[in-house]
Structure 1
Amino acid sequence: MAFQDLLNQVGSMGRYQILQMAFLLICNVMVNPHTVLENFTAAIPGHRCWVHILDNDTVSDSDSGTLSQDDLLRISIPLDSNLRPDKCHRFVQPQWHLLHLNGTFSNVTEPDTEPCVDGWVYDQSTFLSTTVTEWDLVCGSQVLGSVAKFVFMIGILVGGFLGGHLSDRFGRKLILTCALLPMAITGTCAALAPTFFIYCLLHFLKGACVPIIYTNSVLLMIEWTSPKFKALVTILIICATNFGNIVMTGLAFAFRNWHHLQLVMSMPIFFFLIPTRWLSESDRWLFVNNKPQKGLQELRRVACKNGVKNSEGALTMEVVRTTMREELEATQTKPSLRDLFRTPNLRKRVFLLCLLRFTTAIPIFGFSIHLQHLKKMRTLHAVLITLAGANYGVIITSIILHSNELLPTVIRATAIGVTVTAGSVGAAVAPVLMTLTMYSASLPWIMYGVTSILAGFVPLLLPETKNKPLPDSIQDVENEWKGSRHSNEEGAVIKVIPF
């Protein structure tokens, strides 16, 4: 925790931090919306079977007589259970007798209908094209649309877990830069994918890059600021994510072709690679990974940008080694994933944070991906959804902030990767609970609500971190627990002595 003393000397929220934060926030404005981009690029438009008499340009007016489009649709497409034109079947032959039934329809036997063997006709009033219209992901192939979303979620899970380990081993700046490049490439190539299989493969790789960029952006901001600014930094990156979603929504109205929208959201990421050369590596990470000389150079660089005079005279290697003696001694042993569960206090924190991520992800994703099931009482649902969205922002901000302040720098990214994995598992459980509708239509929503209530009790078991310095080593976490216990014991003794 001694690094905070060094950071205070060079400025914990100066011009350097503001410029670096501005770049990382703008970067996330374009990156994070990719998690919900398929709400537009993979939208399912209205559709019906292609019918010769309706959609063949060579059919003349004399062939169809003076019949209107509605009449031609009536004799060509059967009705579904809701008395609407069926989306997946057509009559084998035009049913001319239906024109004389005055609104009453006779039962159509199975041999009279057939699947859409000649393809589909799509409504282009909202979107000119989507991945659904590109590869006909409707009717019997509709499940493939869910496969693409599932593959993307698996990519996020893998990226969250693997990216955390790589960040702790090779540094925040390097892994951020290495993730931006494939993110830009896979996003751009996805717009040009010739087959659905290649699209899913690129989608997986893109999904793996998103949590890596997001996590390292947060770490590069959090680990360069003092405790009193950490809440502000976390709120800003959540706001950047939400602002990115607003920007993406506006672009979706302007670019109604999914190829163009995918390109517009992906190609600007290439330009973010240029400013990364001026980013500074997390000094906390440099010191806890036994790179004091590089860390000292970064401190002097930040001091210069923040306008601190005589930084070279005040910041020397002797000062660094004296201030961070315990942290530098701890660097002799390299932490691993097993270290998260070896010591009691860190093990407790990781377990509770995983439980918190898991229990909050279930209702959040449950509501997000099943809004189409709420059709009745739309005004009330709109109000509740708005309140849920605001609450979601508070929850995510608090979890991110608390996680960073509870976990030590030396293994912070790895630990966050583990908690993100737990959240991804919760996100995967959310749609499974919707299968409970076969027993009761309200049961899944009750489960989402109960899970939310249970999640509210988990933070009560975690310690308060307001205005406390970030722990840099695992020993800092354990010493904090022992120090707290020791102070309680001393307090008890003080109360006993007067008697």
Structure 2
Amino acid sequence: MTDVGEIIKALNDFGRFQHWLVLMITLITPITGFHVFSQLFMVIPVSHHCNTSWLDTISLNLTGEERLNLTIPRKPDGTLEQCLMYTPVDSNLETILQSRLTSTEKCQDGWVYPSKPEPSLVTQFNLVCDRKDLIDISQSIFMSGLLVGAVVLGPFSDWCGRRPVALLSLFLQGVSGVAAAFAPSFYLYCALRFLLGTGLSGIIISSVALCTEWVGVAYRPHTIIASHVTFALGQMILAGLAYGLRDWRHLQIAGSAPVFFFLFYIWVLPESARWLVTKGKIEEAKKLLQKAASVNKRTIPPKLLEQLKPEKKAKSATVLDLLRNPHLAKVTLIISSIWFVNSLAYYGLSLNVGSFGLNIYLTQVIFGAVEIPARILCIFLMEWLGRKKCQSFCLFLGGTFSLLITAIPKDLPVVIATLAILGKFTMAASFSTSYVFSAELFPTIVRQTGLGVCQMTARVAGIISPLVGLLGRYHTSFPVVIFGSAAVLGGIISLLLPETLGKELPDHVDELANNPRKSKAANGSVENGCAKPNKDNCISEKITTTRF
């Protein structure tokens, strides 16, 4: 029986067909980076004070300044209180002028925005004072959509295919993204953002699976890094669009409407040949493989196609399989904790881009730009330091940079922003390291399940991260201290994991405890799980179904 991996080698591990496929996938990835952080530019703080038009019923002869002096208390620095007003009284103007109003209360009739800012979520839905917390809550709702998308659309992709889920997710993203721009209430906006997050998660899952199942084993990391780099490009594009489009509705449409252009993927996006074979659709898989070979200007030996048979379906792994073996349970606990703290700190820094003292648009561009070299550099660091030390170094350093922010005076915004950028740099590198390290720690039989658990903990951290920001009302340093401390702790516990650099990938759980993994040097320089002498005959790993 022929394995799909052998045929992919025959038609070229990474030929023109795969180049076009990866290009199509990476073209839609920047939209993910846009939407994850787009709300930051829709909730930029604006000056405001309570609406005190009640005084107009008593006198219309007062100037705006006189009315504010009578109805709005002032802070010690002389500026107007933003969330307090003097309690209205049923008296004539002369009585009010003589006795002056002293009793205060919260705003009763809404707010006024004297600077006449461009429409934003803040001004559209009055997300100020007691309603300000809704900003962070809405971001957590969006992150919840990402989590639900991973849990629901992941198995759905295994059932009906990568291509249908990718197309459905694109459509869901486009519709919910554009509809959010016309939401008449903030709660409907949050619901649409939840659906948007679900669609984004579906795109990520199906597109990454589609790419990795079409390329050779040696090129799978390249497709992951490519998606990470274009995600960073999306953050930079966001800053440029937000700078030019100050109306939040225009910005939302600009980041969502282009998705409909990619609906032509209905006609050009291929299905995964590997998935077709696992489902017994051999003839469809053969036609698709021959088409790929034609694009790559290769010929698949007829014998290989004739011997192509449905792959024996492996028994699906469950989360319980990760806990039965003590060693694997320890690895799962530690690596999933690392994903959690990494995601918590990464989004903690990214979602607070406007609080570091510099121009938010410039800072966002830099935040996106530093991720590109960070993601690429981690590849060399992993080879030089090893996976364990690289993971620990990046997390510990990123956490240290975050903690140092709290020690810098607020009147030094350049220093604060520099530390934040360095923290984002190291956190991004740590994230890419986690993908490689985790894949090498889990045995093949439970690898997909282990990675699924890790990604779920990262999504949970993404939900919590905006809520941690609410602690800033008690002290501005609390959120940053939590993010930094979590990263430092993650860097320390990383050292408890075994090193995987130069080691063979384990296939079964019993190999972890009973037979320590041999190094590649001791096995004919194994490359990507395949010994060099027999590299041409090496069979790609089979993708197992993940169940949560």
Worse-matched range after superposition: 365-374 or 351-360: 365-374
CA distance in 1, matches of 2:453, 2:262: 28
Once the 2 structures are TM-superposed, how far is the Cα of residue 229 of structure 1 from its aligned partner? 2.8
Q: Which of 231, 237, 248 is the aligned partner of 1:247?
A: 237
CA distance in 2, matches of 1:419, 1:277: 34
Q: Which of 319, 338, 358 is the aligned partner of 2:340?
A: 358
Once the 2 structures are TM-superposed, how far is the Cα of residue 267 of structure 1 from its aligned partner? 1.4
Once the 2 structures are TM-superposed, how far is the Cα of residue 171 of structure 1 from its aligned partner? 2.5
Q: Which of 419, 422, 425 is the aligned partner of 1:384?
A: 419
Once the 2 structures are TM-superposed, how far is the Cα of residue 186 of structure 1 from its aligned partner? 0.9
CA distance in 2, matches of 1:457, 1:286: 43
Matched ranges for 1:195-206 at <5 A: 195-206=185-196
Residue equivalent to 1:45: 46
Residue 237 of structure 1 aligns with an amino acid whose one-letter code is S
Residue 464 of structure 1 aligns with an amino acid whose one-letter code is T
TM-score by length of 1: 0.78
Decide whether aligned partners of structure 1 residues 3 and 352 sit closer, same or farther in structure 2, where only a CA change above 3 A counts.
farther
Once the 2 structures are TM-superposed, how far is the Cα of residue 140 of structure 1 from its aligned partner? 2.6
Residue equivalent to 1:157: 147
For the residue of structure 1 that corresponds to 2:489, the secondary structure is helix
CA distance in 2, matches of 1:466, 1:225: 22
Decide whether aligned partners of structure 1 residues 386 and 191 sit closer, same or farther in structure 2, where only a CA change above 3 A counts.
same
Q: Which of 75, 78, 93 is the aligned partner of 1:80?
A: 75
TM-score by length of 2: 0.72
Matched ranges for 1:94-493 at <5 A: 109-110=102-103, 113-122=104-113, 127-308=117-298, 310-311=299-300, 313=302, 315-318=304-307, 320-321=308-309, 328-329=311-312, 331=313, 333-334=315-316, 350-370=332-352, 372=355, 375-403=410-438, 415-430=450-465, 445-457=480-492, 461=497, 464=500, 476-478=507-509, 481=512, 485=516
Decide whether aligned partners of structure 1 residues 20 and 466 sit closer, same or farther in structure 2, where only a CA change above 3 A counts.
farther
CA distance in 1, matches of 2:327, 2:78: 62
CA distance in 2, matches of 1:143, 1:43: 14
Once the 2 structures are TM-superposed, how far is the Cα of residue 241 of structure 1 from its aligned partner? 1.0
Worse-matched range after superposition: 453-462 or 133-142: 453-462
For the residue of structure 2 that corresponds to 1:90, the secondary structure is strand
Once the 2 structures are TM-superposed, how far is the Cα of residue 338 of structure 1 from its aligned partner? 5.0
CA distance in 1, matches of 2:331, 2:177: 36
Conservation of the 8 A alpha-carbon contact between 1:357 and 1:422? yes
Residue equivalent to 2:18: 17
Once the 2 structures are TM-superposed, how far is the Cα of residue 240 of structure 1 from its aligned partner? 0.8
> Gaps spanning 5+ residues in structure 2: where?
357-404, 523-548
Conservation of the 8 A alpha-carbon contact between 2:140 and 2:464? no
> Deviation per CA, 1:375-426, whole angstroms, max 9, x where unpaired?
3431211111111121122122222344456668887665544322211223
CA distance in 2, matches of 1:334, 1:87: 57
Once the 2 structures are TM-superposed, how far is the Cα of residue 305 of structure 1 from its aligned partner? 1.1
CA distance in 2, matches of 1:405, 1:171: 26
CA distance in 2, matches of 1:2, 1:390: 40
CA distance in 2, matches of 1:399, 1:261: 33
Residue equivalent to 2:534: none
Once the 2 structures are TM-superposed, how far is the Cα of residue 215 of structure 1 from its aligned partner? 2.4
Decide whether aligned partners of structure 1 residues 26 and 134 sit closer, same or farther in structure 2, where only a CA change above 3 A counts.
same
CA distance in 2, matches of 1:136, 1:47: 10
Decide whether aligned partners of structure 1 residues 40 and 441 sit closer, same or farther in structure 2, where only a CA change above 3 A counts.
closer
CA distance in 2, matches of 1:486, 1:367: 38
Once the 2 structures are TM-superposed, how far is the Cα of residue 444 of structure 1 from its aligned partner? 5.4
CA distance in 2, matches of 1:245, 1:97: 57
Pairing 1:90–2:85 present: yes
> Deviation per CA, 1:191-220, whole angstroms, max 9, x where unpaired?
111222222221211122222212222222
Identity of counterpart residues, as a percentage? Answer: 26
Decide whether aligned partners of structure 1 residues 96 and 463 sit closer, same or farther in structure 2, where only a CA change above 3 A counts.
farther
Once the 2 structures are TM-superposed, how far is the Cα of residue 190 of structure 1 from its aligned partner? 1.1
Decide whether aligned partners of structure 1 residues 183 and 433 sit closer, same or farther in structure 2, where only a CA change above 3 A counts.
closer
Decide whether aligned partners of structure 1 residues 317 and 96 sit closer, same or farther in structure 2, where only a CA change above 3 A counts.
farther
CA distance in 1, matches of 2:329, 2:159: 20
Count of paired positions: 461
Conservation of the 8 A alpha-carbon contact between 1:193 and 1:199? yes
RMSD (Å), alpha carbons: 4.0
> Deviation per CA, 1:34-68, whole angstroms, max 9, x where unpaired?
11111122333221223449999xx98xx34xx6x
Computing the radius of gyration from Cα coordinates, the structure with the larger value is 1
CA distance in 1, matches of 2:177, 2:475: 40
CA distance in 2, matches of 1:170, 1:15: 27
Conservation of the 8 A alpha-carbon contact between 2:346 and 2:428? no
Worse-matched range after superposition: 174-183 or 222-231: 222-231
For the residue of structure 2 that corresponds to 1:239, the secondary structure is helix
